[in-house]
Amino acid sequence: MPMPMIVISAPPGRAVGRTSFTGETSVRCRGVPPARDVGGMRSLVMAPLLVAGMLVVPGTAAQAAQCRGGSDFDGDGRRDLATGAPSAAAGGQARAGQVGILYGDGRQEWLVPADARRGGGFGAALAVGDLDGDRCADLAVGAPGTETVEVYLGAEGGLRRGPVLRLPSPGGDQFGTALVAADLDGDRDLELAAGAPGRRGGGAVAVFGLRADGLKGRKVFTASIGRKGRRKAQTDAFGAVLAAGNFDGRGRDELAVGLPGDGHRGEGSVTILDAVRSTGRNISQAGRLRGSPERNDGFGSALAAADFDADGRDDLAVGVPGEALTDKNRGFGEGAVHVLYGPSFKEEGPMWNRLTGGLAGNARRNDLFGAALAAGDLNGDGTADLAVGIPGSGSVQILRGRRRHGLTARKAELVTSGLGAAAHYGNALKIAGGVLTVGAPGDGGFTGGVYRSRTRLPLEGRGLTGFSFG
Ligand SMILES: [Ca+2]
Ligand SMILES: [Ca+2]
Ligand SMILES: [Ca+2]
Ligand SMILES: [Ca+2]
């Protein structure tokens, strides 16, 4: 089929990416070129026509509406990227928040909250998945300042507004601080879990759509689950961080819920939560892990689940960015990561940190190794790899997964940005389609920026842009 030639004119100052048309048979997304190649007036050759912001796909409607899951919001077969800018102004309201969408064809769109309020923080958390069952990827956007989660539904042409989720009787819950979409009941459609770490009693997690179509129904889990007899405090922050994985290799996912404020002094813990059985299992450094619980460790400040040893069961990486390594009295926040293998959650390998043998670099105070984590296959060998953010040093440590061995230091790679510590490069991470995306929300005087590995993407910094990804 001959490709139509289309000329797209971008308004001055607006960045437009260039992507070659790869055809219906391919869903690989090569992303957009470096920022230096874009901007201003530019002619592009591509199959879908972009006319005044409307995407018109050649061919029949049936062809056009083919969504295949993944993170393709508009069904054009190309992977799209969502990033939060929770400190961006919207509707004249400071820090109401915005979400930048970079479509695979280079279009850029900014979502603003339906109800823009000062300090709403729309975009503080994002989750992607097909939530309504039409195979187009949908986007959930958390706004903890207004205690709402807005759902945007994927469709031909782009995202459209969907339902807005809330908790009953909100009030300082910070609902929407963390989000994850996963199949928690094994019926092959996705549920949406949303953390409310400020909820009375140490936080809560609400799950929408359990044993139902779409997001119908709501089940709320409290900080008590899996922590029988343990002291609970308002500052536990249960639900501040969420991940999901199929840790036992059977038919459904479980939630990993971070409580980074758990313990008398913020040592932190993680609860593995079975949403169907309403059972939980709490894990901390007070158990059989290679670290010890100390003040402000923040165990569970970041979580990532994937199968690092290719045994068919997901494994869990837990960030402890406050972990002190060099001098327990003076040192603080060099950071560490535990990797626990499903289904037993036994720690194999070292407690990963910047002093681990085989890794480049040096541990420094406030590196915050493990402040962000992302898992996914970066080198196409079928085994998940782990990206560890080190925002205090502006770098990301890549650990490679190996079949039967799990994560090892072999072929480990340190991605350095050259940006100063203030950029917070590595504060948010995403791996999709073999590509590492890195947020630097402090870049450009805290307007923020998004990088594909080391290359800055043409997304404007609007206020902590790059704080979160979906
Ligand atoms: Ca797309
Ligand atoms: Ca959908
Ligand atoms: Ca389900
Ligand atoms: Ca595994």
- Sequence-ordered list of residues with C-beta below 8 angstroms from that of 133, at least 6 positions apart, any chain: 189, 213, 214
Question: Which ligand number lies closest to the CA of residue 186?
Answer: 3
The pLDDT score that the predictor gives to residue 231 is: 78
Going from the Cα of 357 to the center of ligand 2, the distance in angstroms, rounded, reads: 44
Going from the Cα of 103 to the center of ligand 1, the distance in angstroms, rounded, reads: 5
Q: Is residue 42 pLDDT above 50, yes or no?
A: no
What tokens were used for 352? 């990963």
What tokens were used for 112? 């603003």
Beta strand residue intervals within 120-278, DSSP E: 125-129, 138-143, 148-153, 160-165, 178-182, 191-196, 204-208, 218-222, 241-245, 254-259, 269-274
The pLDDT score that the predictor gives to residue 331 is: 59
Q: Is residue 91 pLDDT above 80, yes or no?
A: yes
Going from the Cα of 254 to the center of ligand 4, the distance in angstroms, rounded, reads: 14
Going from the Cα of 128 to the center of ligand 2, the distance in angstroms, rounded, reads: 10
pLDDT digits (tens, 9 = 90+) for 393-433: 999 999 999 999 999 999 999 999 999 999 999 999 999 99
CA distance 252 to 254: 7
Cβ(154)–Cβ(51) below 8 Å = no
| Percent of the chain's residues with pLDDT above 90 | 78
Quickly tell me which residue has 């300042």 as its tokens.
145
Going from the Cα of 23 to the center of ligand 1, the distance in angstroms, rounded, reads: 12
Question: Which ligand number lies closest to the CA of residue 69?
Answer: 2
Q: Which of 8-22, 230-244, 296-310, 393-407 has the lowest mean pLDDT?
A: 8-22
CA distance 255 to 274: 7
Quickly tell me which residue has 């704080």 as its tokens.
467
Q: Give me the torsion for CA of 342, 241, 461, 161, rounded to 10°.
A: 100
The pLDDT score that the predictor gives to residue 438 is: 98
- Confidence class for position 327, pLDDT limits 50, 70, 90: low
Q: Is residue 34 pLDDT above 50, yes or no?
A: no
Going from the Cα of 316 to the center of ligand 4, the distance in angstroms, rounded, reads: 9
Question: Which ligand number lies closest to the CA of residue 343?
Answer: 4
Tell me the average pLDDT across 306-319: 98
| Mean model confidence pLDDT for the chain | 86
Q: Which amino acid is at 421?
A: A
Q: Which of 191-205, 216-230, 305-319, 430-444 has the lowest mean pLDDT?
A: 216-230
DSSP string, 130-151: -SSSSSS-EEEEEETTTTEEEE
Going from the Cα of 393 to the center of ligand 3, the distance in angstroms, rounded, reads: 39
**Which residues have a beta carbon within 5 Å of ligand 2, which is an ion?**
130, 132, 134, 136, 138, 154
Dihedral angle sign, alpha carbons of residues 384, 178, 209, 218: positive
